[in-house]
Structure 1
Amino acid sequence: MSAFLVPARSARAARGPVPDVDTATPAVVLKLGDNPFDHGGLGAARSLGRLGVPVYAVDRSAGTPPLASRYVRGRWVWQPNVDDTDQVREGLMRLAERIGRPSVLVPTDDLSAVFLAEEGAGLRPYFLFPDQPPDLPRRVIDKYTLFSLCRDLDVPCVATELVRSVEEAEEFAARVGFPLLVKVRVPWHSPDRGPVRRTTIVCSGPELAAVFTHVSAEDGMLVQEHIPGGAGHDWFFHGYCDGASRCRPAFTGVKERSYPAHAGPTALGRAATNPELVAEVRDLLARLSYRGILDIDIRLDPRDNRYKLLDFNPRLGAQSRVFRDSAGVDVAVAAHLDLTGRPVPPVDQIDGRVFLVENYDVPASFDYWRRGELDPRRWLSSVRDVDELAWFAWDDLRPFGLMCRRVGGRAGRRMLARYGRARQPFAPHQLTAE
């Protein structure tokens, strides 16, 4: 653990150029989903709070680590029925009344991004947020409609198909070959049972059949071509688009490690300027009339040397703090500047900044080590270069401590559950199930 505590350059980096933000206008970091380890909201609270912006946070649990940040002035612990849009709208209006002045809304999960686009019109007297095309967030979050959208716009993307049976999945595998990816169509519908994750790498027919024993014909699942990866192939793009869909800032970075390996969220990432990728994504955003913060995952396909779009998140990305430009602006700060009528400086990103997610990188590194892609020397070298940690910061320690406690508790419960299953007496149906 000491290796994680060495590179606390995040607080020092905050003492660089100070953007001219409107500190009289608060910010509300909004999360409607139930992911307790969403560190994106914590990053936004630190970015804005260190500049003197009053930050309020909305979450479903009082024990969520981001709510423990010293930079969160007010906490709104709330568990609305997200399908009841009137309830969500009225709750946010009550929050606005407590704050007492219009605030910038920063969505940090897909549910909040969809709600604001589709149902947020009545909130404009109380909050500042982009005027997004109402149907766009849902279309880009849904991985199947995203594929259809890319195909219509002639945007390079991976082959994707919605299948409702293992036979249909096997037909797709026969066309594109193994390995392939099995994905949940929209993230908040994750089944979270059996071998099915939001993203699962499948390497054979028997594995594919095992996954589909947990899939209903009504819901279906997405199967997706697997693009061969490698060092420097996995990229992410973070940006902010103003009311005219001009994307500034536009940041690019390389995903060095992910969890699960090669198929999950960033565990270790590095800021790296990629002008070709910036130009391609800016063109796509303009054609979509996109507005607001975004986070996109892209993979360079070595077979045709083209960048293929994998995921499009119409909200703050979890690893957004890896990016900062030479004026001290990241995407959360850019949103606050633009929505309060202040200019976003037209300057370049700072390259070479490294971001690490503590609770992801430990299992991710072990996974890469088992694959023969990482050794202790290279791991140590990579963590020594870290500029920004997802949870730990010298000036804001409580979120890190709470994250460790929650991760430890979850690991302990899983160990007890496995121990309990191992001690169950043998029954004939167990043999049949195998």
Structure 2
Amino acid sequence: MKAPALVTDALLRKSLAAVRSLGAKGIPVYAAESTRLTPAGFSKYCAGRLLSPHPVEQPADYAAWLLETAAKMPGLVLLPMDEASVGVTIAHRERLAVSASFLQPEAEPFRRAADKYETVLAARSLGMETPLTWLPGGEEELAAIASSEAFPLVIKPRHSSGSRGIRFVHNATELGTAYREAAAGGLPPMIQQYIPPGERLDAAMLLDAEGRVVASFVQREVRHYPADIGPSTVQESIAMPELAEQAAALLAKLGWRGVAEAEWMRDPRDGRLKLMEINPRYWNSLHLAIQSGVDFPYLHYRLALGERVTPITSYAIGQVTRNLLPGDLLRAISTGAWRGLDPPLFGKGGRPVEDDILSRRDPLAAAGFGLACARYALDARMWRKLFKR
């Protein structure tokens, strides 16, 4: 009997990808979420749906639930999929390790990787290019930034996903007002010079318990929703080993273990790639890596059990996945761009395209997604989760 696996955050399409990956290999995999209506929970590869507290709104209850669940399921392998569930697992790692197996970084590497400003500092120490970035220590430093010629600027939360909490400012007056509002009552945000939208590339990595790279994968983001700054809705696998090498160096600098994704944007003003952030968790377009031959969830599962695995750094190039529901469809509605798309919005066009949710082999996952949308149509919190990067 293979060890059971628990995949968290079952609303997200990356969790569906993990459930399909593990379940297809005969692993009893359970999908957990604060609702039973999820794509992953309705997948034919899911052995059972588990109802959990919300990891963001109820972290203490979520931790207690994880500990109780692990105690009830001997040999359980934990695969936390999103930042909050990863954070809870790390915070309670010693107690969880009594009953469950998992592979996650220590608390300090996780804190640094989750902090966008700390990520910039680490990248710069390795000679990597980043946008001009500031963390003003007071009004005097804020005034110095306001007097610079770096506008437009972006005020960013140091902990966020996708485009949430981002504010664009075009002059000194806007900067002062927006920064003080963003800094009120919380962790002071950072300020970055705005980079016009350009090519966006991601390097996904898996490091074992000794910090060795076990898997690497690079993708190009083709379309997004919202169109300029949102998460990707279509992705393509590409060969760019130098980007994977940079991601490996950055994660080694942080002392990373487990899964993470690093994101770059090509600055159209000078054509150079600039590191934007690290996602210290699984990324929502995970299905593309699995389709291309890098099965991160299964490799992660095996490493969590202490197995040795052969590193995977080569994969099929030119594979394409999309998230039609709701991402790519909403992009078409918001931009009015329905025709002339590559790949097309509907149909396969000249090359094979797989959807993150829609599948003839696993049709009930789409039903789970539809039920979740109907049930939570007016719940802004649930919709925000669906659009996490």
Q: TM-score range by the shorter chain?
A: 0.7 to 0.9
Q: Normalising by structure 1, what TM-score?
A: 0.75
Task: Kindly state the Cα deviation for residue 379 of structure 1 after the two structures are TM-superposed.
Answer: 5.2
In structure 2, the gaps of 5 or more residues are: 381-389
State how far apart, in whole Å, the 1-side matches of 2:81 and 2:32 are.
10
CA shift in 2, pair 1:186/1:412, >3 Å: closer
Match of 2:344 among 377, 381, 393: 381
Q: Say whether residues 1:61 and 2:24 are aligned partners.
A: no
Secondary structure of 2:155's aligned partner: strand
The 5 A counterparts of 1:285-324 are 285-324=251-290
Letter in 1 for 2:263: D
Query: Highest CA radius of gyration, 1 or 2?
Result: 1
Would you say the 8 A contact 1:81–1:88 is kept in 2? yes
Please provide the CA RMSD for this pair: 3.3
Q: Say whether residues 1:184 and 2:157 are aligned partners.
A: yes
Q: Say whether residues 1:140 and 2:107 are aligned partners.
A: no
State how far apart, in whole Å, the 2-side matches of 1:257 and 1:291 are.
30
The 5 A counterparts of 1:249-268 are 249-268=215-234
Tell me the residue number matched to 1:424. Answer: none
1:336-368 CA distance string (max 9 Å, x none): 232331423545111111121121112223445
CA shift in 2, pair 1:311/1:344, >3 Å: same
Secondary structure of 1:317's aligned partner: coil
Q: Say whether residues 1:244 and 2:210 are aligned partners.
A: yes
How many corresponding residue pairs? 374
Q: Say whether residues 1:228 and 2:199 are aligned partners.
A: no
Letter in 2 for 1:390: D
Match of 2:246 among 271, 280, 292: 280
State how far apart, in whole Å, the 1-side matches of 2:222 and 2:139 are.
33
Task: Kindly state the Cα deviation for residue 272 of structure 1 after the two structures are TM-superposed.
Answer: 0.6
State how far apart, in whole Å, the 1-side matches of 2:134 and 2:270 are.
21
Tell me the residue number matched to 1:26. Answer: 4
Tell me the residue number matched to 1:107. Answer: 80
State how far apart, in whole Å, the 1-side matches of 2:55 and 2:190 are.
27
CA shift in 2, pair 1:227/1:412, >3 Å: same
Letter in 1 for 2:44: R
Q: Say whether residues 1:333 and 2:298 are aligned partners.
A: yes
Would you say the 8 A contact 2:3–2:77 is kept in 1? yes
CA shift in 2, pair 1:368/1:297, >3 Å: farther
Q: Which moved more, 1:87-96 or 1:387-396?
A: 87-96
State how far apart, in whole Å, the 1-side matches of 2:375 and 2:137 are.
37
CA shift in 2, pair 1:72/1:170, >3 Å: farther
Letter in 1 for 2:298: V
Letter in 1 for 2:51: V
Would you say the 8 A contact 1:67–1:75 is kept in 2? yes
Tell me the residue number matched to 2:385. Answer: none
State how far apart, in whole Å, the 2-side matches of 1:252 and 1:239 are.
9
Task: Kindly state the Cα deviation for residue 256 of structure 1 after the two structures are TM-superposed.
Answer: 0.9
Would you say the 8 A contact 2:11–2:33 is kept in 1? no
Tell me the residue number matched to 1:118. Answer: 91
Q: Say whether residues 1:363 and 2:336 are aligned partners.
A: no
1:101-145 CA distance string (max 9 Å, x none): 212211211112222233212211322212523211121112222
Q: Normalising by structure 2, what TM-score?
A: 0.83
Tell me the residue number matched to 2:386. Answer: none
Would you say the 8 A contact 2:214–2:309 is kept in 1? no
Q: Say whether residues 1:50 and 2:24 are aligned partners.
A: yes
CA shift in 2, pair 1:381/1:29, >3 Å: same
Tell me the residue number matched to 1:421. Answer: none
In structure 1, the gaps of 5 or more residues are: 1-22, 191-195, 415-434
Task: Kindly state the Cα deviation for residue 409 of structure 1 after the two structures are TM-superposed.
Answer: 6.5
1:13-47 CA distance string (max 9 Å, x none): xxxxxxxxxx612211123xxxx852211111111
CA shift in 2, pair 1:339/1:259, >3 Å: same
Would you say the 8 A contact 1:76–1:95 is kept in 2? no
1:35-82 CA distance string (max 9 Å, x none): x85221111111111121111122112223332222221222121676
Task: Kindly state the Cα deviation for residue 270 of structure 1 after the two structures are TM-superposed.
Answer: 0.8
Tell me the residue number matched to 1:193. Answer: none
State how far apart, in whole Å, the 2-side matches of 1:389 and 1:264 are.
18
Q: Which moved more, 1:120-129 or 1:172-181?
A: 172-181
Letter in 2 for 1:362: L
CA shift in 2, pair 1:357/1:131, >3 Å: closer
Letter in 1 for 2:185: E
Tell me the residue number matched to 1:431. Answer: none
Would you say the 8 A contact 1:325–1:349 is kept in 2? no
State how far apart, in whole Å, the 2-side matches of 1:366 and 1:386 are.
23
1:154-196 CA distance string (max 9 Å, x none): 33222233469999778546536344333232238x9xxxxx9
Secondary structure of 2:341's aligned partner: helix
Would you say the 8 A contact 1:257–1:365 is kept in 2? no
State how far apart, in whole Å, the 1-side matches of 2:368 and 2:7 are.
19
1:285-318 CA distance string (max 9 Å, x none): 2232211011221112345554322121121111
State how far apart, in whole Å, the 2-side matches of 1:146 and 1:78 are.
31
State how far apart, in whole Å, the 1-side matches of 2:374 and 2:312 are.
43
CA shift in 2, pair 1:97/1:263, >3 Å: same
State how far apart, in whole Å, the 1-side matches of 2:88 and 2:44 are.
28
